[in-house]
Structure 1
């Protein structure tokens, strides 16, 4: 079987302290954010879900009729493969060390991914579209000089709705190794971007992307939840 050309890495390992409940399982427009993300990426054969603790996600997948699948050869220790009723696969990967921040989750996901180009998505993005996923991957494929393609939206880079070369995981590994030596908090996503050759894109650079400000906005707080419910109700 040929290797996939694209992977999706969903980073869903946070504790959701500001919102007060697990963000991937919050329902927006009658559908949990996790499954909105899985719906938007269902056309990608290789998908990885990087989480803090696997058991809540296993229960949620089983409730949606997903079933355990044959493990991927060479997958990370402790990873669990699932298949949905249509036969699409997902690899569930737990953070080896919890609570090191989103960069550690991204590292786990990139390590487990099979394709050379990976689209990374935060687990609290309810409005990600297939067009954005494809546009990010295609933009990186067309920029051989770049390590990553990162959108700018709401006046700042959006590193968890972006495309990375899988090899960028080596940079993450070095950053995390430095962190473990000095005993400080996990490096930030921006410190990671500073070490990459990044092509930044705007909404107009991704055909069919729609409202990139909304697509890259996570449900991180009660105010975000109110906004997301209203946005979904409008059907934009």
Structure 2
């Protein structure tokens, strides 16, 4: 059995979006609130990583700050790995509007098969998704070393860890559809991404009502 600590990354400057991605409204709720509820169902404890804790007090979650400021999501992962009682951490970025718990099931099964792994990372259409992934406590030393050396690129950090990749085929084999997979890893970086996500939410609701 693998127990998970959830680590929500509240994000940084959101320069491309122009406003805080975590607080964008999706279906009448702040996206970070939706993620708290969804990630909370698949983890035993949940932490929020943010350098602006006052903006997230409403979540009533334990909030930790980056030790090394302005170092991107890697610093958030470092902060998350330092907290919690579970060896495995589920890291989730704040800009995922279509979080799917089935993804977590597949990642956990992969971790069970590879007990020496330090990270379990999805690869969708050739692209790594390190901000919806599992990290083992043992990855902390490497993450810290990279930050200390000024290395912030997730691809470089992952190349120094024992990583098990999860492919699209593995998600399909687990019963997900290609549409579900692509939605699960869709992130909102720009205003048009947000608008698209809103339209998809409405479409999905319409489909449910028709059924």
**Which residue pairs with 1:52 in the alignment?**
51
Which is further off, 203-212 or 104-113? Answer: 203-212
2:153 to 175, 188, 191: 188
Asked if 1:98 is matched to 2:96, the reply is no
* Counterpart contact for 2:11–2:93, Cα < 8 Å: no
Tell me, in whole angstroms, the C-alpha distance in 1 between the residues paired with 2:72 and 2:158: 15
> Per-residue deviation at 1:57?
0.7
**Which residue pairs with 2:11 in the alignment?**
13
* Counterpart contact for 1:117–1:137, Cα < 8 Å: no
1:163 to 134, 137, 140: 134
Tell me, in whole angstroms, the C-alpha distance in 2 between the residues paired with 1:166 and 1:152: 21
* Counterpart contact for 2:11–2:21, Cα < 8 Å: no
Deviating 4+ runs (over 3 angstroms): none
**Which residue pairs with 1:73 in the alignment?**
none
Tell me, in whole angstroms, the C-alpha distance in 1 between the residues paired with 2:176 and 2:163: 19
Residues 108-127 of structure 1: matches in 2 within 5 Å? 108-127=79-98
Residues 165-205 of structure 1: per-residue CA shift (max 9 Å, x gap): 122111111111112xxxxxx51111111111211112332
Tell me, in whole angstroms, the C-alpha distance in 2 between the residues paired with 1:138 and 1:9: 19
TM-score, length-scaled by structure 1: 0.78
TM-score, length-scaled by structure 2: 0.87
Number of matched pairs: 199
* Counterpart contact for 2:5–2:84, Cα < 8 Å: yes
Asked if 1:205 is matched to 2:170, the reply is yes
Residues 117-165 of structure 1: per-residue CA shift (max 9 Å, x gap): 1111111111112222232223212211322111112430101011111
**Which residue pairs with 1:182 in the alignment?**
none
Unaligned runs of 5+ in 1: 62-81, 83-89, 180-185
* Counterpart contact for 2:7–2:46, Cα < 8 Å: yes
Which is further off, 93-102 or 163-172? Answer: 93-102
Tell me, in whole angstroms, the C-alpha distance in 1 between the residues paired with 2:140 and 2:8: 15
